[in-house]
Amino acid sequence: MPNTVTSNSLQNSLKQVFGFDKFRQGQEQTINQLLVGQSTLSIFPTGSGKSLCYQFTALHLPYLTLVVSPLLALMKDQLEFLESKGIAAASIDSTLKGNQTQETMAAIKNGKIKILMVSVERFKNERFRQFIQSIPVSMLVIDEAHCISEWGHNFRPDYLKLPSYRQSLSIPLTLLLTATATKKVKSDMAEKFAIEEKHIVQTGFYRHNLDISVLSVNSSNKNHFLTQQLLNNTTLQNGSGIVYVTLQRTAEQVANYLQQADINAYAYHAGYDNDTRSQIQADFMSGNIQIIVATIAFGMGIDKSDIRFVVHYDLPKSIENYSQEIGRAGRDGKLSHCITLANLDGIHTIENFVYGDTPELSSIEYLLEKIKLETQTTQFEHKWELQLLPLSNASNIKQLPLKTLLVQLELAGVIKPMFSYFADFKIKLLQPLDQILALYNEERRNFLTVIFKATSFKKVWGSLNFDTLLKDKSIDRNRVIAALEYLHEKQLIVLETSRITDVFNINLAVLNEPLLAKNLYDYFIGSENKEIKRIESLIKFFQQGICFNSALSRYFDDYKSPESCGHCSVCRGDIITLQQPKLVSWPSDEALVENGKALGRHLENKINMPLTLESYCRFFAGMTVPIFGRNKVKQLSGFGSCEQHRYQSIRDKLSNLGFA
């Protein structure tokens, strides 16, 4: 329902609650549109106050604001800020212990919490869906909303479900937030949520305080060059910074080199455990660590205003990634340096990340055949169930592209999501069973008795057998879960759930179409080509001789920035030509053939599909795919022996040698 809030009351609220004297550009327009019931897409540069738009609006809406965020670190930072402003907010995520989830749900039901933050994956949780459907929600906020677009650089298949979630939950208002959206991505996002063009708020992309330099540096000279920059540039010497690399081992090598030069630098990557990463991040935020040498696992959601420099030691993945990463510098508005040490030596590495995610045609065919074999046909429906990790291993498709494949099957009308459920329900009694049952009237006592009779206890924990329980057609699964949740909430039991199982309705007619596998494979090849073109666009961008700030703005559909910023390396007359990769020798043809045969022998009788040319390419390129991981293929001598070569070159080489 539209909210009538005057401009004066908005300003007063901004000052009293947030301590700010005025709105930043775009914020007031976004908030005004939302308060009169107009769903909005807001595109602001990194660090320009996107989050305030939903935080402020939530205070003036009657019910809960539900925020979908892609990263736990981002949620935690937002929650700390909201807590500091006295705004009741919470998250439901995997880090909650004991009764914390139940306590959060109870506080939301009682109206004590205005903002709830979750990941998009949380919607797959049947306990969460049952809860969120029971309460009114005023606004759905989608942070990093470009993830919903297949034209975007961080497409996440689960985001495609958000429009239907919004519809099923009857949420009247949506706010999409992003810092990076090309014209095509912007249009795609708005269309998916029926946001009118006049309700798209886009501020200028240009950041006047970012000094951008792209320098041609030999790989052998990078460590020395970086060290000299850090030791001799006063801004860099006295400020905190991030050095981005592509590989985990490079992060550790560069951090060690800098430490030997008495520079306070530490590596950060996804190979470290959660506690280690959290401690490194906390030390960086507090100033105990000056420099983080990181893969792209670090940065999203990092709200540190005084980062004075961002260095790209290796090429970024795309112009979008580059823009997002340099956008973490200088959020306080002060001079900050963005330096890229550029050459083409690492081009094969970022290309291989793209090629390694494309499912093989044989894997897609295997998956379709598996669906046919496992579909349970009844009088009224054709039903198929899956658990993601076992399916990924069986089909040899990585989990992220497998999620994308499932979404494409849904869009093609092959599968239709019915519901998701937990395969495992484990129960621990906190009071003797007879005492628990004695608390309820006869009807409820009888219902609980049936549940516990279907629960097999071993010492402390019991496993609920739903197959046994639901043979009685009078018993409703949702009522069982609601009863267990209630007992858990009253601290009479501890309830733990695991192994999410997705259930789909299958359209066998479409599933049996002869060109289905080929069409799906062509979709992935198209996506692969699109990502390779992003890399080509990045290389062209660095060498085109146009002001970097101006070129960035135009790439993101902003034509308001100056044509020459005066503070980038192009404006200073330093236009580069990237040096070609150094030539690397191949293993001998005999070694390639023998190592290929060794791979075949190693996997014989262990996999359910033939080795293809792509399988061999990935083996020699050192790519990790499910059949390699679970069969310890990395131990074979040929694994990664061609990793310094570009993927297409490996493919050509192996084709000439007669690999299948």
pLDDT, the chain, mean: 90
pLDDT at 585: 93
pLDDT digits (tens, 9 = 90+) for 377-400: 877 789 999 999 999 999 999 998
Average pLDDT over residues 202-214: 91
Average pLDDT over residues 75-79: 81
Can you tell me the distance from the alpha carbon of 646 to that of 353, in angstroms, rounded to the nearest whole number? Answer: 11
pLDDT of 402 above 80: yes
Of 83-92, 148-157, 547-556, give the lowest mean pLDDT range. 148-157
Name which of 374, 375, 386 is nearest 419 in CA terms: 386
pLDDT at 652: 95
**How confident is residue 620, by pLDDT bands cut at 50, 70 and 90?**
very high
Please state the rounded mean pLDDT for residues 203-230. 92
pLDDT for res 301 = 57
Interval 103-111 mean pLDDT: 90
Residue 7 is predicted with a pLDDT of 67
Helix ranges, 85-204 (H): 100-109, 126-132, 162-168, 183-192
- Average the pLDDT over each of 46-55, 70-79, 119-128 and give the range with the smallest value: 70-79
98 has a pLDDT exceeding 70: no
Bigger pLDDT: 421 or 178?
A: 178
φ, ψ of residue 431 to 5 degrees: the values are -140, 160
How far are the Cα atoms of 356, 393, 523 from residue 625, in angstroms, in the given order?
A: 8, 9, 20
pLDDT for residue 179 = 85
pLDDT digits over 593-611, tens only? 999 999 999 998 888 888 9
263 has a pLDDT exceeding 90 = yes
Span 182-191, average pLDDT: 92
Q: Quick one: what percent of the chain has pLDDT higher than 90? A: 59
- Determine contact, residues 417/165, Cβ cutoff 8 Å: no
Confidence of residue 73 (pLDDT cuts 50, 70, 90): low
pTM for the model: 0.81
Q: Is 98 in a helix, a strand, or coil?
A: coil
Reported as a pLDDT band with limits 50, 70 and 90, residue 554 is very high
- For residue 468, what pLDDT is reported? 87
Where does the pLDDT of residue 74 fall: very low under 50, low under 70, confident under 90, or very high at 90 and above? confident
Residue 208 has pLDDT above 70, yes or no: yes
Residue 1 pLDDT greater than 60, yes or no: no
Poorest-pLDDT segment among 78-82, 207-211, 393-397, 517-521: 78-82
What is the structure's pLDDT at 75?
80
pLDDT tier at 16 (50, 70, 90 boundaries)?
A: confident
Of the pLDDT bands very low, low, confident and very high (cuts 50, 70, 90), residue 71 is: confident
Task: Tokens for 68, please give them.
Answer: 């979908």
Cβ contacts of 514-523, under 8 Å, gap ≥ 24? 516/368, 516/412, 516/414, 517/361, 517/364, 517/365, 517/368, 518/361, 519/412, 520/364, 520/405, 520/408, 520/409, 520/412, 521/359, 521/361, 521/364, 523/408
Judge whether residue 297 has pLDDT over 70. Answer: no
Q: pLDDT tens across 437-469, in order? A: 999 999 999 999 999 999 999 889 999 998 888
Per-residue pLDDT tens digits for 565-584 = 999 999 999 999 987 787 88
pLDDT for the residue 299? 65
DSSP character for 199? G
